[in-house]
Amino acid sequence: MIVRSAGVVAAVVLSSSVFSSSAAAQDAVQWRVADGGNGHWYQAGREVTGVTWSAAASLASSLGGYLASPRTAAEDNFVWQIARSPSLWDGAMGPWLGGRQLSGASEPLGGWEWQSGEPWSIWISGAPNDACGGLNEDSLHYFSPTGSAPRQLWNDMVGDSFCGPYPLPVAYIIEWSADCNNDGIVDYGQIRAGELVDANANNIPDQCEPCSADVVEDGVVNAVDLAAVINAWGTAGGKLPRSDVDGSGLVDGADLASVLSSWGACP
């Protein structure tokens, strides 16, 4: 589980990726193809206080993923093994999922889509009701009507403000599915295994960010970027933070090598 406190993100890692019956804080887990899954990785994020759907979506994106999009009952059952942890709930309010309703869509069923860009298929459990006193319930989360225990029930909720007495959810489920090198394996897992380099720790393989060495962001890696790296040598980047190409916290030979190996126009 990713826990955020005072703007700091920390990963709470367990040695096993098998869920316990208590669904305690877990490391990211993969829904393995061998088990009938899609090969994607999933993990919970939790805030100290409530978080809007938009903020949760941005946090997921900043970690190289997106809010989970369980498109089948089987996938929802897998995601639920993470989301059911009581530590991710505040009364009736369970974690955010990636479903969002387009502005102006017909209520309550029209215009739902996933943050991932995948097509919306069915409303797997529960039903949208747009019942929050005229406010637009346009965001998807797990919900327990009684608030006494977590329930595997989808609910539409106001995403970016409060709905009556209900607090904002404190948690969200992140999903990773990108395969930028098209080798049939999700990049996130290969980064974890050390098979793909991710020097700046954004969960995107360095080889899939060919213009990370475009320090001045003019669409080409050339002598200007080389000079920027040299001028910032031995610092954290100074006025041009991107001169620390690999995100190590120090502009050094590794950044110089990145510029030289990426020479030319950005794709």
pLDDT tens track for 219-261: 899 999 999 999 999 998 878 888 888 777 789 998 898 899 8
Residue carrying the six token digits 């080389």: 226
- Tell me the C-alpha distance between 10 and 16, whole Å: 18
How many beta carbons lie within 10 A of that of residue 129, not counting itself? 11
pLDDT of residue 236: 84
Question: Does the pLDDT of residue 188 top 90, yes or no?
Answer: yes
Just give the CATH number of 210-265.
Answer: 1.10.1330
Greater pLDDT, 186 or 126: 186
CATH 3.20.20.140 at 2-176, yes or no:
no
> What is the residue type of 65?
G
As a dihedral over the C-alpha atoms of residue 251, residue 253, residue 259, residue 261, rounded to 10 degrees, the angle is: -150
Model confidence, pTM: 0.75
CA-only gyration radius of the chain, Å? 21
DSSP 171: E
b/e per residue, 138-155, with b = 16+ CB within 10 A? bbbbbbbeeeeebbbbbb
Q: Which carries the bigger pLDDT value, residue 199 or residue 201?
A: 201
Residue 39's CB: how many other CB atoms inside 10 A? Answer: 17
2-176 and 210-265, same CATH topology: no
> What is the domain partition of the chain in residue ranges?
2-176, 210-265
